[in-house]
Amino acid sequence: MIKLKEGDKAPAFTGIDQDGKKVSLADFKGKKVVLYFYPQDMTPTCTVQACNLRDNFSMLKKKGFEVIGVSPDEVAKHKKFEQRNKLPFTLIADISHKILDKYGVWDQKQLFGHKYMGVLRTTFVIDEKGIICKIFLKPKSKSHPEEIMTAVK
């Protein structure tokens, strides 16, 4: 369950990206970060969301945003997802759910009456000081960058 609120300090994390490199939130100190959590590479809605962020990446960069995607998929699957969709941003493999747990986005879900553990699709916008300035609990996959730009001036 997501317990973080807007105005909270973003939890520090370190993970491995699609290139096998260590990435920490601290690496982005002094920058605005769009930290988005998604269930799984190669699935329809996750692909739409990632490609929409890709298509609007230059607009986000002009406004000073860095983009980081996090899912429980493995590094190799992230690399394939990045290459297949020409994604220009970092994807972190969180197989152990450490980052997902810190942000409260690994939780029980339900589909057709079946309960299971999974990622709650959520985006945290973090300011230059490391403070969460906006949380999107159910981002609109087809228009997420516009949603971000409208909410965060």
Active site residues: 46
Distance CA 61, CA 68 (A): 12
Strand partners of residue 53: none
Q: Which two tokens stand for residue 59?
A: 């607009």
CA dihedral over 70, 93, 81, 47, signed as positive or negative: negative
Note the residue count of the chain: 153
